[in-house]
Structure 1
Amino acid sequence: MPRRQQASARQQRLGAELRKLREAAGLKGREAAALLGTDSAQVSQIEAGLAGVSKVRMRRIAAQYACTDTELVDALAAMAVARTQGWWEEYRGLLPTSFLDLSELEHHATYRWDVEFLYIPGLLQTEDYARALFSSRVPELPEEDLELRVRHRMRRRTILERERPIPYDALVHEAALRIMVGSRAASRAQLTRVLELSEADHISVRVIPFELEHFSDVGAAMVYAGGAVPRLDTVVRDGPHGTVFVDSAAQLSVFRTHFRRLQAVSLDPERSRDLIHRLSKEL
């Protein structure tokens, strides 16, 4: 396959997992190249996500690396295809690459967890709420760019609305529900939207209440996307210098623990709906 100019986060992840398999087999790049009948430069490009591999070649690589985890091999083989031509490709060159990488990650996820402290999670946002958020950006976005971001965010909801939606669990701090974003009417409509979505069988919304004592875990805001196997899970976090995709086993374990702890102290879905309903009436 021809060399790519730029690899998506999904393609980079496949390459990184192949590198881990090679290293676990105790092989250097040139040794792997000899087994695969290629050169070390090609192996490097594959591991960087810059060169694609077919499903057949992916399975051959796994066999040469003596990988016996059939579920992992199947999952990697499913990733070993050319870039998915999903709806997000319409925005390539128009939005930052991280926006597209997140959309592709969500599209292939088996489940999704969100933890938010200051804002309603993106997948639950109304158009007016999202527009108000993007409008507050510094420096101010040109109108065309703002509308692109809003449309993209609304399209991301596809994973919750398609024929086979993924299970979605959102933990939202009470602060995010009380902070008015945009007008009073827009904020009320946003809470109503969260209530409507929370009634779906595949969606769970739990509120982290103000009343918790000894609570200081506000640094755990995250998007957690489940992979086909746990090893392929990914955490997405927004940082001061952009979006970060986290996939190391140790860090994933920490974020899973964070989520479970926050889930345990959150209100159950019914009590959460009662609180959201009360807050909407107060607006």
Structure 2
Amino acid sequence: MAPRHAPTARHRRLAAEMRRMREQAGISVQQAASLLGADRTMISNIEAARTGLSEERVQQLAGLYRCPDAALVDALASLTGPRRPSHWWDEYRGKIPEGHLEVSEVEYHATRIRTAQTVHLPGLLQTEDHARAIFELTVPKLSRLEIELRVAHRLGRQSVLNGDAPTPYVGIIHEAALRMEFGGRDVARAQLDYLADASERSNVTLLVIPFSAGDFHGAGQSILYAEGAVPQLDTVQLDTAMGAHFVDAPTPLANYRSLLDLMERSALSPDESRKSIRSIASEL
């Protein structure tokens, strides 16, 4: 097993889940090493994503930890693979923050994506001009090259919603986000028209929370929830002032699922949401 000098987000997640599996079994690092007939350093390296894992090793460790969830074990085994497989976002490596690339990786492998936005529109549904207007407001100010790289990357992320097998997507958007005129009225109108058209795709559901809903759960939050092959491998990504923050512990994941469910209940139906988007666009 060769060391991984630059593990992907998936390999870091695999390492974290193997540690979680061991801890849930009540087995120490030393005990795990003894069961495996190896040095404890090997277990530490596996759980820190410094050492790669094969499907066979995942199955072996799961057996030693007596994990009863076959579906989880199979899903974890599927996370193994090349240290750095080639993907479209690799061309941006070293050019934009690493967190942006990890968002791409999480979205790419998701089986379904749910987002909630109360001020900004979902990145996966932003037009080029809208995205550029957003990045032009970054503090500290980005250079023109940095802005264009981030815009191109954001547009590249949208490939998961297109193609022969597009990812199912549910976007919850508060009316406040729809009324923000980033880039001016013309850009805002074009963005809203694009959103309304996108909502007619078979894999895209947009749900608008109107001002008339009053207060609601999750107000002010920006959430991206990417579902994995099994619920234990779901991932939440939150936007912070310091960049992307990822959440994968079971209890927070359950809480975010509940929160998104509650936000959906505050929203209009898909048809009424589409009408609302088009109505706001017509006012511009």
Tell me whether the two structures share a fold, i.e. TM-score over 0.5: yes
- Report deviation, 1:215: 3.3
| 3-state SS of 2:245 partner | strand
CA distance in 2, matches of 1:196, 1:213: 27
Match of 1:222 in 2: 223
**Pair 1:38 & 2:33 matched:** no
Match of 1:130 in 2: 131
| 3-state SS of 1:156 partner | helix
- Report deviation, 1:216: 6.0
Mapping for residues 39-58 of structure 1, pairs under 5 Å: 39-58=39-58
Mapping for residues 101-116 of structure 1, pairs under 5 Å: 101-116=102-117
Q: Which runs of 5+ in 1 are unaligned?
A: none
CA distance in 2, matches of 1:90, 1:217: 35
Q: Which whole-Å deviations, capped at 9, do the CAs of 1:223-259 have from their partners, x for residues lacking one?
A: 0000110111111001222211011111111111111
CA distance in 2, matches of 1:4, 1:201: 40
Match of 2:248 in 1: 247
Deviation beyond 4 Å, 4+ runs, structure 1: none
Aligned length: 283
Amino acid at match of 1:42: M
**Pair 1:213 & 2:201 matched:** no
| 3-state SS of 1:14 partner | helix
Match of 1:79 in 2: 79
Higher alpha-carbon deviation: 188-197 or 26-35: 26-35
CA contact (8 A) 1:123 1:157 kept: yes
Match of 1:277 in 2: 278
Amino acid at match of 1:244: H
Higher alpha-carbon deviation: 213-222 or 105-114: 213-222
Match of 1:140 in 2: 141
Match of 1:9 in 2: 9
TM-score with structure 2 setting the length: 0.96
Q: Which whole-Å deviations, capped at 9, do the CAs of 1:110-160 have from their partners, x for residues lacking one?
A: 100010011110000000000110011111111111111001000001110
CA distance in 1, matches of 2:8, 2:202: 32
CA distance in 2, matches of 1:244, 1:216: 21
Match of 1:198 in 2: 199
| 3-state SS of 1:74 partner | helix
Cα pair distance change 1:258/1:216, threshold 3 Å: closer
CA distance in 2, matches of 1:242, 1:151: 18
CA contact (8 A) 1:220 1:258 kept: no
Cα pair distance change 1:80/1:151, threshold 3 Å: same
CA RMSD of aligned residues (A): 1.3
Match of 1:181 in 2: 182
CA contact (8 A) 2:217 2:262 kept: no
| 3-state SS of 2:170 partner | strand
Higher alpha-carbon deviation: 58-67 or 144-153: 58-67
CA distance in 2, matches of 1:158, 1:185: 25
Cα pair distance change 1:61/1:172, threshold 3 Å: same
CA distance in 2, matches of 1:9, 1:264: 32
CA distance in 1, matches of 2:195, 2:115: 14
CA contact (8 A) 2:11 2:49 kept: yes
Q: Which whole-Å deviations, capped at 9, do the CAs of 1:57-89 have from their partners, x for residues lacking one?
A: 111111121112110011000001123321111
Cα pair distance change 1:248/1:135, threshold 3 Å: same
Amino acid at match of 1:237: L
CA contact (8 A) 1:220 1:255 kept: no
| 3-state SS of 1:218 partner | coil
| 3-state SS of 2:140 partner | coil
Match of 2:119 in 1: 118
- Report deviation, 1:7: 2.8
Match of 2:94 in 1: 93
CA distance in 2, matches of 1:119, 1:24: 39
Higher alpha-carbon deviation: 142-151 or 238-247: 238-247
Match of 2:264 in 1: 263
Q: Which whole-Å deviations, capped at 9, do the CAs of 1:153-182 have from their partners, x for residues lacking one?
A: 000011100211111000000011111010
CA distance in 2, matches of 1:214, 1:89: 41
- Percent identity over the alignment is 43
CA distance in 2, matches of 1:70, 1:214: 42
